[in-house]
């Protein structure tokens, strides 16, 4: 193991001199995934137990294998008037909504979602019209790339590297949600 780590560090040093900053490059394919695992740790005590709990929390977010939540079971909270809103919108704005066992909000860590159309988006506002219809104002990511391709594509596990938010916000229905995701930045 010592020889392997030494070789790894030599490769990293060589790569650093050739292409620059290591934040955008990894000598081992799963270094970036390891970083996202490290980011879910809250303390250095009991790391394995913490990772298992975080994985369980992530699995609990999925309902029926990422099935969409039922739009009749929504509770909105955090009434505000800060926007943004859709043009000609008349109704109420909220910071949070609870759908069965999902909590979606307008700020980290609850604002990253997958849509049924394949897009990844950030929730900017939760809108409820005067007649009770709930919609989500989202800003979609323009670029979605694989985190890794081998031994299996990260897209199969809905793990993507996203960048470049679109300029415009779009309105989507609650039925357009596929899953909640975590934003590891």
pLDDT score of 2 = 42
Provide, rounded to the nearest whole percent, the portion of the chain with pLDDT above 70. Answer: 71
Residue 64 clears pLDDT 70, i.e. is over it: no
- 85 and 160 housed in the same domain: yes
- Residue range(s) defining the domain that contains residue 8: 1-28
- 87 and 175 housed in the same domain: yes
> Would you say the pTM of this structure is higher than 0.85?
no
pLDDT score of 152 = 79
Average pLDDT in the 148-174 region?
84
- 92 and 5 housed in the same domain: no
In angstroms, rounded to a whole number, what is the distance separating the alpha carbons of residues 36 and 174?
28
- 24 and 78 housed in the same domain: no
- 167 and 79 housed in the same domain: yes
- 86 and 151 housed in the same domain: yes
In-domain check, residue 111: yes
Q: Nearest Cα to 109, choosing from 158, 54, 148?
A: 54
In-domain check, residue 49: no
In-domain check, residue 60: no
In angstroms, rounded to a whole number, what is the distance separating the alpha carbons of residues 122 and 156?
21
- 83 and 156 housed in the same domain: yes
- 80 and 24 housed in the same domain: no
In-domain check, residue 81: yes
Backbone phi, psi, residue 14, to 5°: -65, -45
- 168 and 87 housed in the same domain: yes
- 20 and 85 housed in the same domain: no
In-domain check, residue 67: no
The 10s digit of each residue's pLDDT in 70-125 is: 445 788 999 999 889 888 889 999 999 988 767 889 988 888 888 888 889 999 99
Residue 137 clears pLDDT 90, i.e. is over it: yes
In angstroms, rounded to a whole number, what is the distance separating the alpha carbons of residues 169 and 53?
34
SS3 letters across the chain:
CHHHHHHHHHHHHHHHHHHCCHHHCCCCCCHHHHHHHHHCCCCCCCHHHHHHHHHHHHHHHCCCCCCCCCCCCEEEEEEECCCCCCCCCCEEEEEEEEECCEEEECCCCCCEEEECCCCEEEEEEEEEECCCCEEEEEEEEEEEEECCCCCCCHHHHCCEEEEEECCCCEEEEHHHEEEEECCCC
- 23 and 99 housed in the same domain: no
**Which CATH number characterizes residue 169's domain?**
2.30.30
Total of domains in the chain: 2
- 16 and 102 housed in the same domain: no
């Amino acid at each position: 193991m010592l020889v392997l780590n030494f070789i790894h560090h030599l490769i990293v040093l060589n790569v650093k001199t050739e292409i620059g900053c290591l934040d955008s490059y990894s000598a081992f394919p799963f270094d970036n995934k390891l970083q996202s695992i490290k980011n879910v740790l809250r303390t250095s005590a009991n790391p394995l137990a913490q990772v298992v709990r975080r994985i369980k929390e992530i699995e609990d977010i999925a309902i029926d294998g990422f099935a969409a939540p039922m739009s009749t079971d929504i509770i909105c909270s955090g009434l505000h008037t800060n926007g943004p809103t859709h043009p000609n919108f008349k109704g109420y704005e909220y910071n949070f909504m609870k759908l069965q066992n999902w909590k979606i909000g307008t700020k980290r860590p609850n604002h990253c979602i997958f849509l049924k159309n394949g897009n990844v988006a950030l929730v900017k506002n939760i809108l409820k019209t005067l007649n009770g219809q709930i919609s989500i104002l989202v800003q979609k990511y323009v670029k979605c790339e694989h985190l890794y391709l081998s031994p299996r594509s990260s897209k199969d596990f809905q793990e993507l590297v996203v960048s470049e938010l679109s300029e415009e916000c779009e309105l989507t229905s609650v039925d357009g949600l596929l899953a909640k995701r975590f934003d590891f930045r």
